[in-house]
Structure 1
Amino acid sequence: MSVVVAPQQPVAQRTRAPLYLLIPATLVAVAMLIPLFYLFLRAFQAEPAQLADILWRQRNLDLLWNTLKLTGGVLILTTLMALPTAWLVTRTDIRFKKLITLLAVIPLAVPGYVMAYALMGLGGYYGVFAQLFGWQLPRISGYWGALMALSFYTFSYLFLNLRAALLGLDPNLEESAQSLGYGPWATFRHVLLPHLLPALMAGWLVIGLYVMGDFGAVALMRYEAFSYAIFNQYENSFDRFYAAWLSLMLLALAASFVMMETLIKRKRLASLGSSAPRQQRQSRLGWLHLPAWLYLSAVFLSSIGLPVMILAYWLILAPPDLSFFLQVPATFLRSATVAIPAALLTSLMAIPVAYLLVRYPSRWSSLIERSTYIGYALPPITLALAMVYFALNTAYFLYQTLAMLVFALALATLALAMGPIRSHLLQTRVNLEEAAFSLGYSPLATFYHVIFPRLRRSLLASATLVFLFCMKELPITMLLSPTNYTTLAVTVYTRTSEGMMAEAAPFAAAILLFSTLSVGLVLNREKA
């Protein structure tokens, strides 16, 4: 007679989450709710009559229209830049595909305010065209300046999504459509586009949230969007209630983008067949090689060549003296003094949340995990303003301190740190912990001796992502940093906004050089 033994559930999943894990994870979730709580608290402190006046101002509609117009324009332009580029490297026989992919990702190293700086350097009396060719072009500003600065910087997010989607698409779909008499355009419209829609929506969501929360580019271009208006209202006015309500309006706009993107995710677009995946057949460009390379040249000259050319121009026209060679490293160290603790704190906050979610899955652990996305979804200017209210009302001793700045940056980047740690925990076998338990190790000792050594690479990856974000971050640093504490990002913004283009060039070049090296290190992990 045979006996059937039911498979045992892993020990870690049969027990309740221990308090030493549950308490810190819950505290992280509570910390993530602080910006939302204080933003709502500040907004609803207004008197009813004052509240009605705030909500029904014509300026609110103007700001909404300006923000939507800018976001829509950036989404259109980035799609026109990213979709053909992704199609060329995945569906055609064009040469140097790895180089094209690398050049399409490098713009991530150019922050929006550095791109705005480069565009502003083209026109005016001291602009590149005036000095080299004698053509005094009007200085780029306003809507078109913000549109180009943000598009040239963010199209890489969409390119990466579309490239991954095209590489993973079953070639049988296109071949079946062609066998039914569909032409190239009909195949793209009826077959490819529906399957690319989730990738498009994911890329559009990232870009849309970034554009709505961006401060540096729109401020330098003097474009009246929500983020620029919030900063001006906070800095130059005593009506802080209006700044809080503008922040809530921007938050509601960002939340609407997230909700629209989740609707697309519900659609199933996977293949149902069991055939093995085949390599995609490459289309021959033929005489279209020349237009393709002209198009790619225009994209890369705009996104990479322009900032490099403008920075080189100002560095050659007004070479930095010895004082700049001392100022740039000192300013870099001030940026790193904030970014390094923020990266360490964020990684430490991510560990208990990720471990709780993977090893003790439940509704509570899922809620805690979802709370980590609050800081990333909040526009940076809104998050910074909420932390100002928190410090002024609850923890004044933290107001304009490095500790508050580091804490706010940790809240903004926790979602970035979660990804690598969670992925590595999912790949770590539970029986390793069970073996340690059977040998008499306590849960804490098991984590320290068994899990933590295997998390070192993912912790390093998480800390690196957070560090890069913090080194380039502008609005949170401007609102929360101590008085006269200038980082690379703040220095570039303040000097550019005052028309000191040559003085800003060494600091902008330092950001560009550091970010490019960092993006190169990240890309080196990917096998193209």
Structure 2
Amino acid sequence: MTVTTDLQSIRAIPKPRARWEGPSFILCAAVVTGLLSLLPLAFVLYVALTSGWQAIADLVLRPKVGTLLLNTSALLAIVLPVSAVLALAFAWLIERTDIPFARFWSWIMVAPLAVPAFVHSYAWSAFAPRFHGLGAAVLVSILAYLPFIYLPIAAQLRRLDPALEETAQSMGKSPPIVFLRVVLPQLRLAIMGGALLIGLHLLAEYGLFVLTRFDTFATVIVDQFQSVGNGPSTNLLGGVLVLLCLILFGLETRLRGRERYARVGAGAARSRRRSTLGRWTWPALTLCGSFALLSLAVPAWTLLRWLASGGAEIWRFDFILPALGQTALLTLSGAALTTMAALPIAWLTVRAPSRLQKLLEAAHSYVGALPGIIIALALVTVTVNVYLPLYQTVAILLFAYVLMFLPRALVGLRTSIAQAPVELERAATSLGRPLSAIWHTTIRLAAPGALASAALVGLGITTELTATLMLAPNGTRTLAMRFWAHTSELDLAMAAPYALLMVLLSVPLVVLLHGGADRMGQA
């Protein structure tokens, strides 16, 4: 391997604009999925046009909407950078230093994903009843969603070639300069993708913010629907959320840049040396331990208290077992379908960036910012007016899951495909049968990321509530639906078994997600 002495060569190489060279099937599949993803937006626009401009002005240009905009902006402005900095610090400590029990801490950083966000919020509401408002919303959001950005950063850190950093150090560059000019640019895709995913969750989250008594667009939309039904105000507020999502997506795309991060070969064939913490060992352990206590100990303590107070009578297996089976079946089916639907646009994003690709990616991503109730309303309207037999069927419910969780699948797939060298794909494609070439090169190399993306989608489906309530066939009662029904009646003891089972059902998905991130980092 030839090592250049020019520090500029260590930086990521800008990727030239690509013309379309891939199979037309991939482009067609991405276009079809993108058009289907536009259904909720078409619904919102239809309501806006039929309402008239005066009605739009009366409903949207109100002081309440301004307050919601400030609340949402403040939430994003605090949670995203704090989560990125903390995730980067945790990943660096665990992957690059001699911190004791590094493997244990790597699991701790991912474990909060097994606890649904609204269970985090319920736990903190019980633990500190007076803790509410922006501060509570920020804390619980960071505790619940930080793993979304930690995982890709940690995986990318494991993959980086140590020779790049050693070359910079041999040129007399200090460790901070090496980190800022060599390491951090190669983490940009992971940081931006994770931050986008957290931002979309913050825009669409309902249960977490209801319990922390912090008003956002999502909470007001759901509250208005429950009080006045499917009115214009509900849908026009959904349109504001769409605009916020597009702004967030545009910022992420601009900051992400056009660099390529793949390498051919395994890099330096030796173990990476870990930095010695020395006197900073205890502060590092304190930081990791504090996160574990806040994100895991508080929910565990609250859940155990609910279970102990309820006794044996809360275990109604005639209700629990059907809810568990239905949740597991919907989770597996929805995760597989969503991951397959996201594959074409993920490939286009990495291999053939263009204006059309950016539009398609935006169409795939914006739905992640819509509350489930907006997507459900759109699908209810379409099925009732176009093809009634689809209304309240498993097919339309799974379709809603695909729309809602496409951004989750897309972020992980995009990162894993970006790490698969394009040279191998082009060499295989030159032999003919491009689809087979892509399958046997890029897709196989990206398989760990695909499994991790499916697990990430499954975690979301396991705890999804609002869309499931509106679209599920009669008789469907998932764990999340049962949990919410009991907590709405303040029967926390009866809700405890469903919360526990959601956690237990999520544990294998978290293990798969963590394992997929490990394999991506070692690829």
For residue 55 of structure 2, the aligned residue among 50, 55, 72 is 50
1:25-424 aligned within 5 A: 27-79=32-84, 81-123=86-128, 138-167=129-158, 168=160, 170-172=164-166, 175=169, 179=172, 196-238=187-229, 240-266=231-257, 277=268, 281-321=273-313, 323-343=315-335, 345-346=337-338, 349=341, 353=344, 370=361, 373-374=364-365, 377-381=368-372, 382-414=374-406
Return the offset for 1:211: 0.9
Do the aligned residues in 2 keep the contact of 1:375 with 1:414 (CA within 8 Å)? no
Return the offset for 1:432: 8.7
Residues 302-329 of structure 1: per-residue CA shift (max 9 Å, x gap) = 1122212211222122224275233222
Q: CA separation in 1, counterparts of 2:387 and 2:353? A: 33
| Cα pair distance change 1:517/1:165, threshold 3 Å | closer
Do the aligned residues in 1 keep the contact of 2:71 with 2:216 (CA within 8 Å)? yes
Q: CA separation in 2, counterparts of 1:172 and 1:365? A: 40
Give structure 1 stretches of 5+ with no counterpart.
1-12, 124-137, 436-442
Return the offset for 1:227: 0.6
Return the offset for 1:508: 0.5
Do the aligned residues in 2 keep the contact of 1:209 with 1:254 (CA within 8 Å)? yes
Return the offset for 1:356: 9.9
Q: State the aligned residue count.
A: 483
For residue 499 of structure 2, the aligned residue among 508, 520, 524 is 508
Return the offset for 1:271: 12
Pick which of 195-204 and 105-114 moved more.
Answer: 195-204
Residues 460-494 of structure 1: per-residue CA shift (max 9 Å, x gap) = 77765544432222232233334664311122233
Do the aligned residues in 2 keep the contact of 1:113 with 1:493 (CA within 8 Å)? no
Do the aligned residues in 1 keep the contact of 2:196 with 2:248 (CA within 8 Å)? yes
Q: CA separation in 1, counterparts of 2:295 and 2:213? A: 21
| Cα pair distance change 1:324/1:76, threshold 3 Å | farther
AA matched with 1:410:
V
Return the offset for 1:348: 6.2
Return the offset for 1:203: 2.4
Q: CA separation in 2, counterparts of 1:323 and 1:391? A: 37
AA matched with 2:47:
R
Return the offset for 1:403: 3.1
For residue 484 of structure 2, the aligned residue among 476, 486, 493 is 493
| Cα pair distance change 1:157/1:328, threshold 3 Å | same
Return the offset for 1:43: 2.1
| Cα pair distance change 1:43/1:79, threshold 3 Å | same
Q: CA separation in 1, counterparts of 2:244 and 2:306? A: 39
AA matched with 1:44:
L
AA matched with 1:338:
L
SS of the aligned residue for 1:44 comes to: helix
Do the aligned residues in 2 keep the contact of 1:121 with 1:501 (CA within 8 Å)? no
Q: CA RMSD in A?
A: 4.4
| Cα pair distance change 1:499/1:60, threshold 3 Å | same
Do the aligned residues in 2 keep the contact of 1:220 with 1:493 (CA within 8 Å)? no
Residues 329-372 of structure 1: per-residue CA shift (max 9 Å, x gap) = 22112323433443454466567x479969x9898995896477
Q: CA separation in 1, counterparts of 2:405 and 2:230? A: 29
Q: CA separation in 1, counterparts of 2:285 and 2:152? A: 22
Q: CA separation in 2, counterparts of 1:97 and 1:466? A: 27
AA matched with 2:112:
P
Return the offset for 1:516: 1.4
Q: CA separation in 1, counterparts of 2:421 and 2:261? A: 26
For residue 466 of structure 2, the aligned residue among 465, 475, 482 is 475
Give structure 2 stretches of 5+ with no counterpart.
1-19
SS of the aligned residue for 2:50 comes to: coil
AA matched with 1:71:
L
For residue 510 of structure 2, the aligned residue among 496, 508, 519 is 519
Q: CA separation in 2, counterparts of 1:97 and 1:335? A: 34
Do the aligned residues in 2 keep the contact of 1:26 with 1:368 (CA within 8 Å)? no
Return the offset for 1:299: 0.7
Q: CA separation in 1, counterparts of 2:85 and 2:355? A: 42
AA matched with 1:160:
L
Do the aligned residues in 1 keep the contact of 2:409 with 2:453 (CA within 8 Å)? yes
Q: CA separation in 1, counterparts of 2:283 and 2:446? A: 47
TM-score (norm 2): 0.77
Q: CA separation in 1, counterparts of 2:347 and 2:81? A: 40
| Cα pair distance change 1:265/1:173, threshold 3 Å | farther
Do the aligned residues in 1 keep the contact of 2:121 with 2:140 (CA within 8 Å)? yes
SS of the aligned residue for 1:223 comes to: coil
Q: CA separation in 2, counterparts of 1:263 and 1:501? A: 45
Residues 195-243 of structure 1: per-residue CA shift (max 9 Å, x gap) = 6555433322221111111112112323210110111122212572111
